[in-house]
Structure 1
């Protein structure tokens, strides 16, 4: 529009030397040029990115037929191998997410087409978490874009913590401690035992290059991230400390982990037990030789008599 006004101003300034008919021709030419330019600009603005018509419903039918039907193509053992969890647990999590969060419900999108199902969203998340695959890998089987796949993973992790965090991501209460005492004593003959503590190194094959120096330990030969965990007899991991930077061992991680924070701050409930006529207020953990000689750590015998 500014160019059009400049042309008009220039044309009108020349009307002393040109006749009215010539000035009008100039005005019409300038107007036609500006209209053409605006038409090209509007065409550029109206241009949209290419839309890929993914057959979401067919992909969902294939997923259900392969894994979720009663007479599915792959049996329960194949399901656990590929999803890394049992089929019952997968269905339980999917139903809870669908009942509590709109994102995981089967909805209509802006194009009046059915979106991805709860099963598809949970499947792409579990495959990324279990195998460390890229987000766009789900496009081959689930017909899901990388952006949607990443969004599913982020919201899945956030909502699972909201749903199950108070149940599983917590320290044992006094009632839980008494049950652990009773079970470990009846099964193993260890009175006052809360669980076993140890650290393990997880291989991080997809570690970004910028982080490689932070998670390198020479005796392993590969990039690893160390995990400290306390587990009970029924595989309840009620304490985990994961992702600490540097070349670490059990002692480094123990010094930084929040395992004993409640005891130090006086928030831990007293769970007394008696061994050799001596009363202790807190339970102990089975550990290996690298841990310090504290009363809260009990180590196995190197050469047991029996």
Structure 2
């Protein structure tokens, strides 16, 4: 059995145990009587449902936590500087049409999304660690997320591009998806209207 299937099986088993514990709590509460007991039961049930997602995420985090490996210098600062020189500073190495082809969007759109995500989740903002060493640039984290979504890149492939560890890559991807859903669901992540479809068809013909 592959490691990914093992992790998924462990997650399924843990989720079943959590659901069984919830059902047991609900059954115990149903043994009480009176309006006050019913009200307390409803309140507890709502709290359990509200915290269910949080508990599931904690379980996933425990399962996905890998054994602590020896750290090695990925030269992340140098790779961040190279990434900026390649695509994001005024005198870039690769022209705009190369950015458009590799990132599947215009650079102005990338910068707009990056700014919104950094304002929404400070995880993507560059910070200093306990040794006063600057961490990853937001361009590195968001580039990693885009490469995984656009090309189906693996964590090792993103590590080569952005110099990020596997856990950091997966956390960046998860937080990126949560931020996109929170920021753009109401405006963009909805079923297109007939007018939208006509606009897309005209754009496709052009």
Query: Are 1:231 and 2:190 counterparts?
Result: no
After TM superposition, give the deviation of residue 71 of structure 1 in Å.
Answer: 1.7
Aligned to 1:116: 136
Query: Are 1:131 and 2:151 counterparts?
Result: yes
**Alignment TM-score, normalising by the size of structure 1:** 0.41
After TM superposition, give the deviation of residue 170 of structure 1 in Å.
Answer: 3.2
Gapped regions of structure 1 (runs ≥ 5): 1-47, 178-193, 196-229, 236-306
CA contact (8 A) 1:125 1:156 kept: yes
> In the aligned structure 1, how far is the partner of 2:69 from the partner of 2:108?
41
Q: Deviations over 1:30-62 (max 9, x none)?
A: xxxxxxxxxxxxxxxxxx742112222111110
Structure number, greater radius of gyration: 1
5 Å-filtered alignment, 1:205-284, equals 231-234=197-200
> In the aligned structure 2, how far is the partner of 1:232 from the partner of 1:146?
42
After TM superposition, give the deviation of residue 171 of structure 1 in Å.
Answer: 5.2
User: For 1:107, what is the secondary structure of its paired residue?
Assistant: coil
Aligned to 1:77: 97
After TM superposition, give the deviation of residue 234 of structure 1 in Å.
Answer: 4.6
CA contact (8 A) 1:136 1:149 kept: no
From 68, 81, 84, give the equivalent of 2:88: 68
User: For 1:233, what is the secondary structure of its paired residue?
Assistant: helix
> In the aligned structure 2, how far is the partner of 1:70 from the partner of 1:166?
34
Whose helix proportion is higher, 1 or 2?
2
Aligned to 1:91: 111
CA contact (8 A) 1:59 1:143 kept: yes
Q: Deviations over 1:178-220 (max 9, x none)?
A: xxxxxxxxxxxxxxxx25xxxxxxxxxxxxxxxxxxxxxxxxx
After TM superposition, give the deviation of residue 110 of structure 1 in Å.
Answer: 3.2
Q: CA RMSD in A?
A: 2.2
Query: Are 1:56 and 2:22 counterparts?
Result: no
Query: Are 1:141 and 2:161 counterparts?
Result: yes
Aligned to 2:186: 166
Higher RCO structure (Cα 8 Å, ≥6 apart): 2
After TM superposition, give the deviation of residue 131 of structure 1 in Å.
Answer: 0.8
After TM superposition, give the deviation of residue 143 of structure 1 in Å.
Answer: 1.1
Aligned length: 135
> In the aligned structure 2, how far is the partner of 1:80 from the partner of 1:135?
22
After TM superposition, give the deviation of residue 141 of structure 1 in Å.
Answer: 2.6
